[in-house]
Amino acid sequence: MDQRDDPTWIAIELTYLGETKVEEGTFEASLRSDLGVGPDFPIFLPVATYVKDGATVVVHLMEGYAFVASGLPESSYFALERTSYVNRVLSSRTGPQRLRTLSVIPNQNIEELRLKLRQQIASDISVGGWVRATEGTYRALEGRVMGICGDNAFVQIGLRSLKIVATIPLMCLESQREPEGEQE
């Protein structure tokens, strides 16, 4: 595939209220509403929130920013600056008229950020912990970490009629709160 076919992204600098909304989990819904896009439109928040030992853990890869896929009219992105949760949309002034144009970020850069975030989350996974697979064959399934070897975890996953121990890369797992009644 030609790199020119890859999606590009728009960086949005958040206000303090925007950061608060990210941590509360309400930011993405507000952003989607203000942009007039549905749940399939790509948005990347470089933050992860999960529960470990009864406490909420927030992992920030890059505080104060959100990334939205390009493809909408530029005015849609710039209109976000009139909201209370966006400080500015990254842009530059170009040409003889010094017109403001969006600064775009290649998809490869966003994929690298996603990988770094998954690696940070994976560093918090331990034997006995409850996890959820985020990618691959076991995506969306949950289970208990039975062991860790190198970059992989052995996760016991209980299905209705079968229990298996799957080998899943650590960066494809995220810690979860253990469901009631699942304790060993």
- Over residues 123-140, mean pLDDT: 88
The confidence score (pLDDT) of residue 120 equals 81
The confidence score (pLDDT) of residue 50 equals 66
Strands (E), 47-170: 47-52, 55-60, 65-69, 86-89, 91-94, 99-102, 104-106, 130-133, 142-149, 152-158, 163-169
Enumerate the CATH 2.30.30 domain ranges in the chain, comma separated: 130-175
CB atoms within 10 A of CB 139: 11
pTM of the model: 0.72
**Can you tell me which residue has the tokens 């929130």?**
49
The confidence score (pLDDT) of residue 59 equals 80
Domain 3-122 is of which CATH architecture? 2-Layer Sandwich (3.30)
Compute the mean pLDDT over every residue in the chain, rounded to the nearest whole number.
88
The confidence score (pLDDT) of residue 145 equals 95
- Over residues 51-68, mean pLDDT: 81
Does residue 57 carry a pLDDT above 80?
A: no
- Over residues 29-47, mean pLDDT: 95
CATH number (2.30.30, 2.40.50, 1.10.260, 1.10.1060) of 130-175 reads 2.30.30
Q: What percent of the chain has pLDDT over 70?
A: 92
Enumerate the CATH 3.30.70.940 domain ranges in the chain, comma separated: 3-122
Over residues 72-116, the pLDDT tens digits come to: 999 999 999 999 999 999 999 887 888 889 999 999 999 999 888
